[in-house]
Structure 1
Amino acid sequence: MAAPSRKQLLSFLSQFGSFLLTRFGFWNCFSSLMMFAERADAKRKPDIPVPYLYVDMGVAVLCASFMSFGVKRRWFALVAAGQLAVSTYGAYVGDQVHYGDWLKVRMFSRSLAMVGGFLVLASGAGEVYRQKHRTRSLQSTGQVFIGVYLICMVYSLQHSREDRQAYLSHIPGGELTLTLMVVLYGSLALAFLSGWYVRQAAQVLAIVLPLVVLFIDGNIGYWHHTRKVEFWNQMKLIGHNVGIVGAVVILATDG
């Protein structure tokens, strides 16, 4: 049996990235509902007022459904980007729930990167049979959002004691390796922000980010018990990073 060609492998990886990205809405809504149910027991409010919350989740599930079935994927990816941007902005300005500054950076930077991921998908990247030319302006804008997310990661590793400790507990080499990670994230951010060597940068990030999801974000005990992050909020953040992995894989294979 012949081994798959490079083109077939890249196509498979691109479809896998699209799978992760288009299913993000389902997990985001599920984890949000579980988090708000967790808060209801403690009589705490959700991030945005309830009437708007149901509309927001309805739009998110609708977009995820149509994107998953490949129906008008570009259009619904653009709507999903707008929906996530509006809900993130509403949660930020509404200030119904108090978060520490370090946690705000983690939450809102990941949401911003997911907006960028949807814009990349809306551009036509990752399509198996592309019938229309991709919209480079949308892809470039999405790449900038992912670059800003990486800048936020650099900021967190330099100024957030919580994030620094999470990395130092799981990477060998201590402060030296942490400094190298900061340099790596900064270099990748410059690539995404400038538009130079984006595909190569995405390939590196597609290797690094799953390890971060597995060993850093996946350390539920550290975030939930030690740093007092709500369990389902941390699960939601993991879902965000998995979705970002999907967007990065698309750029790495079809950027």
Structure 2
Amino acid sequence: MASAGMLIDRGTVFLLCRYPFINAVTLLMLLGERAKRESYPPVEPRLIYIHVGLYVICGFFMSLRWKRKEATVVYAGQLAFFAYNMYTNSSLKYKEWMRVRMATRHVGTIGMCLLFAHLNDPKRQGFLRKLGEGLVGIYLFCCAYLLNSTTEDKKAFLWHVPGGDWSRYAITIMYLTSSLCFMSGYFLRDIALCMVITTAFMTSFVESDISYWTVRLHMDYWNQVRLIADNILILTGFIMIFRKFGNRVMKSD
């Protein structure tokens, strides 16, 4: 009978490998939602078909354990393209804070995918791990920035979380401390557990109130669903780090 730890490991791998399928579906649903008010999609249709096809191929390769590392790296490259596109594409007609939220979430998912690729690299080369840790650190720093410098994110947090600014300061300290640990590569296992709790809390109490984001802040429904899905992937990634990565600590002379 499988132990609880083994079931958790299987669950994280299952979710990480199926995420490309979720991304493909939600992307098409978002474009379909926007099509009601647009005569031409904000991204070249041929590019959409190519990326959706690559999402599906990468998902199959990752799920079937065939060239899993390479497929995950290709998928991370696709996420990098969309992170850049979502922020710079003026045809989307999203406000600055929306574009920053979308690009930031993509950076976090890229980091987790690269760390997953590292775990599936037989040689366990350090480049993927260092790049993944750095991107996760940047993502956490951006989360702290958004929570304190973006009016919409700040109001959303204060609307859903009791404790006012003191709660916001506590979450900010958690984000910044975690960002420092990931950028330096130290205490990853311990800080990943803290971020599992923090990410689950923020997803459950702030991000999951879809009506708040769509009605009050006028986000597209499927755009917010995509952000929630990104959060779930990042949460899964933190569980993976807690289970598979050790604590790198400073050694005194």
Flag whether TM exceeds 0.5 (same fold).
Answer: yes
Aligned length: 245
Conservation of the 8 A alpha-carbon contact between 1:199 and 1:251: yes
Distance in 1 between residues matched to 2:176 and 2:100, nearest whole Å: 16
Distance in 2 between residues matched to 1:211 and 1:197, nearest whole Å: 21
Instruction: Report what 2:15 is aligned to.
Output: 20
Q: Residues 140 and 91 from structure 1, CA distance in 2 versus in 1: closer, same or farther, beyond 3 angstroms?
A: same
Residue identity (%): 30
Moved over 6 A (4+): none
Instruction: Report what 2:209 is aligned to.
Output: 219
RMSD after superposition: 1.7
Aligned match of 1:49 in 31, 44, 49?
44
Aligned match of 2:134 in 144, 158, 174?
144
Matched, 1:74 2:69: yes
For residue 123 of structure 1, give the secondary structure of its aligned residue in structure 2.
Answer: helix
Q: Displacement, 1:45? A: 4.4
For residue 208 of structure 1, give the secondary structure of its aligned residue in structure 2.
Answer: helix
Aligned match of 1:168 in 155, 158, 171?
158
For residue 48 of structure 1, give the secondary structure of its aligned residue in structure 2.
Answer: coil
Instruction: Report what 1:99 is aligned to.
Output: 94
Conservation of the 8 A alpha-carbon contact between 1:114 and 1:240: yes
Q: Displacement, 1:15? A: 2.4
Conservation of the 8 A alpha-carbon contact between 1:109 and 1:149: yes
Conservation of the 8 A alpha-carbon contact between 1:17 and 1:246: yes
Q: Residues 156 and 70 from structure 1, CA distance in 2 versus in 1: closer, same or farther, beyond 3 angstroms?
A: same
Q: Residues 113 and 230 from structure 1, CA distance in 2 versus in 1: closer, same or farther, beyond 3 angstroms?
A: same
Q: Displacement, 1:245? A: 1.1
Instruction: Report what 2:243 is aligned to.
Output: 253
Conservation of the 8 A alpha-carbon contact between 1:116 and 1:143: yes
Give CA deviations for 1:171-194 in whole Å, capped at 9, x if unaligned: 221111111111111101111111
Q: Which stretch of the first structure deviates more once superposed, 228-237 or 48-57?
A: 48-57
Residue identity matched to 1:251: I
Residue identity matched to 1:215: F
Conservation of the 8 A alpha-carbon contact between 1:200 and 1:252: yes
Conservation of the 8 A alpha-carbon contact between 1:224 and 1:230: yes
Instruction: Report what 1:198 is aligned to.
Output: 188
Aligned match of 1:236 in 226, 236, 247?
226
Distance in 1 between residues matched to 2:60 and 2:23, nearest whole Å: 13
Conservation of the 8 A alpha-carbon contact between 2:87 and 2:102: no
Q: Displacement, 1:44? A: 5.5
Residue identity matched to 1:74: K
Give CA deviations for 1:73-116 in whole Å, capped at 9, x if unaligned: 11111111112212332343332212111111110011111111
For residue 160 of structure 2, give the secondary structure of its aligned residue in structure 1.
Answer: coil
Instruction: Report what 1:60 is aligned to.
Output: 55
Give CA deviations for 1:208-251 in whole Å, capped at 9, x if unaligned: 21221111110011100000000010001111111111211111
For residue 169 of structure 1, give the secondary structure of its aligned residue in structure 2.
Answer: helix
Instruction: Report what 1:83 is aligned to.
Output: 78
Aligned pairs (5 A) from 1:123-162: 123-124=118-119, 132-162=122-152
> Structure 2: which 5+ residue stretches go unaligned?
246-253
Matched, 1:37 2:32: yes
Residue identity matched to 2:61: F
Give CA deviations for 1:156-177 in whole Å, capped at 9, x if unaligned: 1111111111111222211111
Give CA deviations for 1:33-55 in whole Å, capped at 9, x if unaligned: 11111111111644421111110
